[in-house]
Structure 1
């Protein structure tokens, strides 16, 4: 969706990031090669998968039987699709 937003901005004569900042979600190795390289929010997939497996094994082994809530810290991967934005006279 973020790449579509960049395309739509360009179609309207807007520059990314000079006029509009765009941020994507779910960082991908290929996203660094887009034009401009897309700033994204990266989920810690490895940590999430490990926690899911550990929790499932605890349930299977009868160690845990109640609902738990896990929180993970995402990472902002800053590339060139974000900037400070245009100055606006007030």
Structure 2
């Protein structure tokens, strides 16, 4: 299961625990943001880390350029998958 952010993933992790669903035994769980503390959950949360500093800087540069008359350009800012204990390979 992929949650929209790490806080949502924490809620899912708690709900799974209440229902006896094993993470990652029954289902893998991945969040997004890599918020502080996600590595200390039980199990530690696999998450996607976005470089927010580069994202913000690039957004401002594009905006300032557009205000000056430049055409917007596409920028790829690759995220990083942080693999921790809430995800596992599917059983064979």
After superposition, residues 1-90 of structure 1 pair within 5 angstroms as 1-60=8-67, 62=68, 64=70, 66-86=71-91
Of structures 1 and 2, the one scoring higher in RCO (CA 8 A, sep 6+) is: 1
Q: Shift in Å at residue 63 of structure 1?
A: 5.2
What residue ranges of structure 1 are gaps of 5+ in the alignment? Answer: none
**Which whole-Å CA distance do the structure 2 matches of 1:55 and 1:71 have between them?**
13
Question: When the two structures are superposed, what TM-score results if normalisation uses the length of structure 2?
Answer: 0.77
Question: Aligned-pair RMSD on alpha carbons?
Answer: 1.8
* Cα pair 1:18 1:86 within 8 Å, conserved: no
What residue ranges of structure 2 are gaps of 5+ in the alignment? Answer: 1-7
* Number of equivalent positions: 85
* Cα pair 1:17 1:85 within 8 Å, conserved: no
Q: Which runs of 4+ in 1 moved over 6 A?
A: none
- Secondary structure of 2:47's counterpart equals strand
**Which whole-Å CA distance do the structure 1 matches of 2:42 and 2:17 have between them?**
11
